[in-house]
């Protein structure tokens, strides 16, 4: 199962805001420790298995391999409406084809923003419009009343324009551990 329901509705008020991103962060941290970066994380790459009992299993797919090739006409992703430009870090717009752990962390911030608000930080417009907003506009704050202020602050930190200002995947894990 993908994050289709979350993509359509955002997380419900009953959902824990941190679990899927925490588990995805662990996968990214492991990849980063092995010298790999995703360079294109979107909700479509987070695969969630919901067993009848126990914790959901989260997998991070598509580390540049095995992209879905048969999409409906005009569809950009396996998750309808997911545009990769919604999840790219500013440095990836400056220098296409680049990326690294900090870009993955930014993308995780975009995914977390999406899960908490129902939309990416800079929705709508062309890829060029999105690039300008990722590069120059502050990301909108997560203001849902049921989201802890520490989680909202973490999302803001993940969406820092300068890659050096973003927390590491390990820092994200520590910040989301209480949730």
What are 130-155's pLDDT values in tens digits? 999 999 999 999 999 999 999 999 99
Burial readout 3-30 (b: 16 or more C-beta within 10 A, e: otherwise)? beebbeebbeeeeebbbbbbbbbbbbbe
- In the three-class reduction of DSSP (H, G, I as helix; E, B as strand; rest coil), residue 98 is classed as coil
pTM (predicted TM-score):
0.63
Instruction: Quick: pLDDT tens for 27-42.
Output: 777 777 766 666 667 7
| Sequential pLDDT tens for the chain (179 residues) | 333 334 444 443 334 444 666 667 677 777 777 666 666 677 777 777 777 777 767 777 665 532 333 333 444 444 434 678 899 999 999 987 777 889 989 999 998 999 899 899 999 999 899 999 999 999 999 999 999 999 999 999 999 999 999 999 889 989 988 88
Angle between helices 149-158 and 101-117 (to 10 degrees): 140
Residue with the two structure tokens 């927390």? 167
**Per-residue H/E/C for 114-134:** HHHHCCCCCCCCCHHHHHHHH
């Amino acid at each position: 199962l993908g994050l289709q329901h979350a993509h359509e509705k955002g997380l419900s008020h009953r959902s824990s805001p941190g679990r899927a991103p925490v588990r995805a962060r662990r996968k990214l941290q492991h990849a980063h420790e092995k010298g790999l970066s995703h360079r294109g994380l979107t909700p479509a790459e987070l695969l969630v298995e919901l067993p009848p009992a126990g914790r959901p299993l989260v997998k991070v797919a598509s580390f540049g391999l095995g992209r879905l090739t048969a999409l409906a006409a005009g569809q950009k992703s396996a998750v309808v409406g997911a545009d990769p430009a919604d999840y790219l870090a500013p440095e990836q717009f400056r220098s296409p084809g680049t990326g690294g752990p900090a870009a993955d962390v930014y993308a995780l911030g975009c995914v977390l923003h999406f899960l908490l608000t129902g939309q990416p930080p800079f929705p709508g417009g062309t890829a060029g419009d999105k690039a300008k907003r990722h590069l120059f506009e502050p990301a909108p704050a997560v203001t849902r009343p049921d989201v802890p202020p520490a989680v909202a602050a973490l999302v803001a930190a993940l969406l820092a324009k300068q890659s050096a200002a973003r927390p590491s995947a390990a820092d994200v894990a520590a910040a989301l551990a209480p949730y």
